[in-house]
Structure formats: C-alpha cells, structure tokens
Structure 1
C-alpha cells in the first residue's frame, strides 16, 4: 500500500534508508546524440549509507512537493520524495527501499506513484540524480525507462572522500 506522508505518519520517514553495495561504476558515453553506458566492476566492494535526513515538514502542506511511503504489513519499507523542478519536471529527490525488499517491485511501484503524481500536477516528466557508483540504482532507472540526460563531474568534487560522478536521469512523458 502506498500512502502520502501526512502529519500523522511522518515518523515513518527514513525507515527504509538502508545502504547499498558499491561493486563498480557506470561509465556513460555520449555519441550521436545518445547516451549509453558500460559497467566497470571493482575488485573490492563496500557499503555506502547516507545519514538519515531531517523530516521535511513542508512536504505535507506544499502542493508542489510530496513524500509517499510504501507499506507492507504496517511496516514502511520504501519512500519517494518529489518536488517541482524549475524546468517543468518533477524532481525525485530521494527514493529508498529497505534492503530486504529490493528487487521485489517496491521501487517500481513508487516510480509509478511518482508518475501519477507528476501527471496530476501537469509536469512533463520525472528527473533525478544518482552517482555513477550506484550501479544497482542506474540499472533500476534504465529498466524503468529513464534515460541519461547529462553527467556532472563537479557535483561531488568538493568532497575529498567522494570519487563519484553525478548522472542525471530523465523520464519524459509522451
């Protein structure tokens, strides 16, 4: 069951914030006005986890922002956070699925909810950013019909421990 975040269920925010295994990186290539990519496999893997974020209270009231939770048996196992972007797209700021529920359709259901929300708001599509080292996320977005729109080599350059490139993905409505 997917429900929108409200004042009464905000305590579920961050419950699905598990880390992910870094096993390689996506290597994008732009040729003939089309993005493709290959994958580089690392010899050693590691876990990357982001800190829990402060609950975005304004996402309850603002009509151009939303958080949706995915529940299974009264447990929040996934969430997606969306907002209006200046370019007419709905921006997926965050999507998270608890580790034990990945590859079971939860993320795809959340993407479908985001598409429905964005179409209701008259956005032209969805966009998001992820890192080249989040190979499983990149595969997930490609599987769900997102295409690479650009690469940002500077987004993480101010963090000495981040050896990452930002990949911007788009899902344009027809």
Structure 2
C-alpha cells in the first residue's frame, strides 16, 4: 500500500463526504476509579453499526485555524487528522478518520504521528483528544501510543443524541 500524508491547504483538501466513519461496535470501555486513578476494561457487546457523520469541510485555513493532514493512496482519500490549539494550550486532535478499506494498516497511527509531530514542532506541552467508550479500536491506538486516559463525561452527547449511552473519554499525551 502506497500512502502519502501531506499537510492540506485550500487547493488539496478533500470534501468531508469522501471519508467514512462507519464501523461495527463489538465492545465498549467500562470505567472504574482506583486510588484516584482512572482505569478501564473492555467488555463485548451485541454488535451494532455506528456511523458518525464526517465534519463540515470548512477547515478554516488561516494562521489561527486548524492544521489538517490528509492521507492518500493512489490518489484516493484514505484518512485525515485535524489539529487545533485548544483553550488549555494543548494541541487537540479535533478529528481523525481512516476510511474503512485502510483500517488496520497502520494509517491511523501514521496520521496520529503527523499530528503529534506538528504539536512538537509548534511547541505545545502535549496533545489531547476525546473519543467515545464504544470506539475501542481508537482507545487501543491511543493507549499504545502512550496517551493516558485522564477524564470522562457521561452527559456530553445528551443534547445532540438524547437516548445516547455514550461516554466521552479524554486522553492526554504529555511531552
């Protein structure tokens, strides 16, 4: 697989509908707190399909806007990562997506590495991100890369999806 990762600009930014976040949930993260430390285990669940719509394509290319890296394979969009400066001065992974045919190939890790390298070069103290408790493959990637699960919010999605049982998980990689 020949993949090229490049920093995006207004001319080479694919549209959001060229990316798919559809996946099958087979497990969930179960949280516990032990001696003031957040820990988790993974439990299997009855499989169900999850589709998170890709974000708007307004990437806000400017000095203060996001920095976006795209991955392409043979000219076809394979994935992207969108990095921001967060309010707490950390770099923030606002969006990371790998199209289904490229999952399990190491592309997610390569995109994450591009975002982390950008954060290092931009002198951020670290990187933070948020994912959901039903996205176990993402949680596994972040943990393997050295991110630490540092917080959660059980209500963050209730306004947009009132019947949701999702928990937001907050991960940090401190440099």
TM-score (norm: length of structure 1): 0.91
Query: Helix, strand or coil for the counterpart of 2:104?
Result: coil
CA contact (8 A) 1:12 1:76 kept: no
2:83 is matched with 82
Structure 2 Cα separation of the partners of residues 64 and 114 of structure 1: 14
The Cα shift of 1:63 comes to: 4.4
The Cα shift of 1:64 comes to: 5.3
Which string of whole-angstrom CA distances, capped at 9 and with x for unpartnered residues, describes residues 19-76 of structure 1? 121112101222224322111211x211111223221231x22345211101111111
The Cα shift of 1:160 comes to: 1.9
Q: Does 2:22 correspond to 1:19?
A: yes
**Which of structure 1's runs of 4+ aligned residues deviate more than 6 A?**
none
CA contact (8 A) 2:81 2:93 kept: yes
CA contact (8 A) 1:90 1:125 kept: yes
User: Of 154, 168, 171, which residue of structure 1 is paired with 2:170?
Assistant: 168
Which string of whole-angstrom CA distances, capped at 9 and with x for unpartnered residues, describes residues 103-136 of structure 1? 1110111111011111111111111111111111
Structure 2 Cα separation of the partners of residues 20 and 161 of structure 1: 19
Query: Helix, strand or coil for the counterpart of 2:118?
Result: helix
User: Of 7, 15, 37, which residue of structure 2 is paired with 1:34?
Assistant: 37
Q: After the TM superposition, which residues 40-119 of structure 1 pair with which residues of structure 2 at under 5 Å, given as runs? A: 40-42=43-45, 44-58=46-60, 60-63=61-64, 65-119=66-120
Corresponding residue pairs, total: 171
Q: Does 2:140 correspond to 1:135?
A: no
The Cα shift of 1:87 comes to: 1.1
RMSD: 1.5
Would the alpha carbon gap of residues 14 and 116 (structure 1) be closer, same or farther in structure 2, given more than 3 Å must change? Answer: farther
CA contact (8 A) 1:128 1:168 kept: yes
